[in-house]
Amino acid sequence: MNVRDFEQGRCFLARLDLGAEIVSQISDLAKREGIKTGTLSAIGALSRAELACYDQAAHMYQTIRVEGPVEMVSALGNISLRDGQPFVHAHAVLADGEGRTRGGHLMKGEVFAAEICLQELVGQPLIREHDPATGLHLWGER
Ligand code: ZN
């Protein structure tokens, strides 16, 4: 297990822009504010989205396309450094007009309305490195 402790830094609440791509808008905010490590949560509504499930045998993401409109019931994630830049890792549960949900790794989504809470964490930044056993970019020991 790889454990590191942090102090709480700044906490941001942000309303994202209509039509924006949610993951890139969150990473842009992190870059602009110099956030290297943090946690995030989000709720709102998306016009469409692309979720994914990681195929653990093939080491590839299987795409789940979600044609909206959908409620973003819950999205949770974190920010750490990958290739020297803030990288957003988020998962989301999305609900259609009948309340039926689909969930997965949030690849991208077109914002209809979204409110996010971004908690900066201050300490030695977590750095994502390629992990041969899983094929994922996981937090390294550095
Ligand atoms: Zn994921």
Which pLDDT tens digit goes with each residue over 67-91? 989 999 999 999 999 999 999 999 9
What are the extents of the domains in the chain? Answer: 8-125
pLDDT, position 141: 84
CA of residue 30 to ligand 1 center, whole Å: 18
Low-confidence ranges of the chain (pLDDT < 50): none
CA of residue 97 to ligand 1 center, whole Å: 25
Q: Whole-prediction pTM value?
A: 0.96
pLDDT, position 142: 72
| Residue 12 backbone dihedrals phi, psi, to 5 degrees | -110, 135
CA of residue 10 to ligand 1 center, whole Å: 24
Distance CA 73, CA 19 (A): 18
pLDDT, position 138: 97
Given the candidates 3.30.1330.80, 3.30.1490.190, 1.10.10.10, 3.90.550.10, the CATH classification of the domain at 8-125 is 3.30.1330.80
CA of residue 91 to ligand 1 center, whole Å: 6
pLDDT, position 8: 98
CA of residue 105 to ligand 1 center, whole Å: 4
